[in-house]
C-alpha cells in the first residue's frame, strides 16, 4: 500500500520537522497543529506528481494530518478496536493499562493511521 519513500517522508515530517512547541501544543492549539501539518507536508513535495493532482495530494496529506493530530483521533480508533466501552481516555485505552504501554500503543496507532491516509491519497492521486 505504501512505499519506503512514503514511510521516510512520514517519519521526517512527523518527527524531524516537528518542533517541541508543535509536539506539546498541537492538541491544544490550532496554530500549532497547522504549523505541524504544514511542516509535515514538506517531505511529500518529493513524492507527489506535478500539476493539480500533486497540489491536491499535498493539501489532503496536510489537511488530514491536522485533525488527526489536533484532536488525537487515533485514540478513538484504539477505543473502538478495544470494544468502545466506557469513556474515551487520553490514549483510548482503559485506565488500568500501564501508562507507558498505552502511550506507546497510541503512538503506533497514530503512525499507522497517518501512513494509511497518506497511502490512500498518494495511490489515488499519484
Enumerate the domain spans of the chain: 4-125
Q: Which residues of the chain have pLDDT under 70?
A: 1
pLDDT at 2: 79
pLDDT tens for each residue of 11-30: 999 999 999 999 999 999 99
d(CA 66, CA 80): 21
In whole angstroms, what separates CA 28 from the centre of its chain? 16
CA–CA gap between residue 58 and residue 48 (Å, rounded): 7
Give the Cα separation of 6 and 25 in Å (integer).
26
Amino acid at each position: 500500500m505504501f512505499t519506503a519513500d512514503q514511510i521516510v517522508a512520514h517519519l521526517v515530517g512527523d518527527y524531524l520537522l516537528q518542533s517541541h512547541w508543535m509536539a506539546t501544543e498541537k492538541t491544544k492549539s490550532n496554530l500549532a497543529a497547522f504549523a505541524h501539518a504544514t511542516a509535515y507536508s514538506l517531505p511529500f513535495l518529493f513524492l507527489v506528481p506535478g500539476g493539480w493532482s500533486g497540489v491536491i495530494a499535498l493539501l489532503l496529506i496536510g489537511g488530514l494530518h491536522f485533525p488527526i493530530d489536533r484532536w488525537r483521533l487515533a485514540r478513538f480508533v484504539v477505543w473502538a478496536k478495544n470494544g468502545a466501552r466506557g469513556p474515551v481516555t487520553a490514549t483510548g485505552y482503559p485506565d488500568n493499562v500501564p501508562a507507558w504501554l498505552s502511550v506507546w500503543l497510541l503512538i503506533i496507532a497514530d503512525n499507522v493511521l497517518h501512513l494509511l491516509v497518506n497511502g490512500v491519497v498518494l495511490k489515488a492521486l499519484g
